Amino acid sequence: MSELTTIARPYAKAAFDFAVEAKAIDNWLEMLVFAAEVSKNETMTSYLSGGTSVEQAQEIFLSVCGEQLNEQGQNLVKVMAENERLLVLPQVASQFAELKAEFDKEVTVDVSSAVELTADQQSNISAALEKRLARKVKLNCVVDATIVSGLVIKANDMVIDGSVRGKLDRLAATMQS
């Protein structure tokens, strides 16, 4: 998987730089997400992994995408087809979305709790995290009964475990050492 990420990075960065310059980041994200879905299609995947020529791969892929890709998006697909990289489009779209979030100073935060959070609680958590992370926060709330009580908050590589389950686990580890 890390190999695909490494392969996708230059394509995502180039597309993002072009999108920023053209002031069309959202449009590019839509195009890349659509192209990624096309490349994940089982029939398309088997076709692209088969022994098709570059020209055939370009023609088929662009005919399926149709009007969803503008001229620059079609050029990206052509370049990726020439380098036999169309199957990494999902990773390109994912990395493009990460670059967009970084550019927009946004972060998606996963919040797990034992019970459903109220709108007021979500608002308070969001405000506190925005202050701490200096970014706009988008909450992804999930109910997880194994937490017992409290919250587990995950934002990228930061984890705040304020759950009773986490405290019990830390206490057990301390007592064993």
Tens-digit pLDDT profile for residues 32-73: 999 999 888 888 887 777 777 778 878 888 888 878 888 898
Q: SS3 sequence, 79-111?
A: HHHHCCCHHHHHHHHHHHHHHHHHHCCEEEEEE
Which one is the CATH code of 2-102: 1.10.3210.10, 3.40.50.720, 1.10.520.20, 1.10.10.10?
Answer: 1.10.520.20
The predicted model scores a pTM of: 0.70
Nearest of 147, 142, 146, 150 to residue 108 by alpha carbon:
142
Residue 88 neighbours by CB distance under 10 Å: 24
Position 152 scores a pLDDT of 92
Residue 63, exposed/middle/buried by CB under 10 A (0-12, 13-18, 19+)? exposed
In tens, the pLDDT along 151-174 reads: 999 988 889 898 888 888 889 999
Position 107 scores a pLDDT of 87
For CATH 1.10.520.20, list the domain ranges present in the chain.
2-102
Cα-atom radius of gyration of the chain, to the nearest Å?
A: 21
Contact 153, 111 (CB under 8 A): yes
- Asked whether residue 78 carries a pLDDT value surpassing 80, the answer given is yes
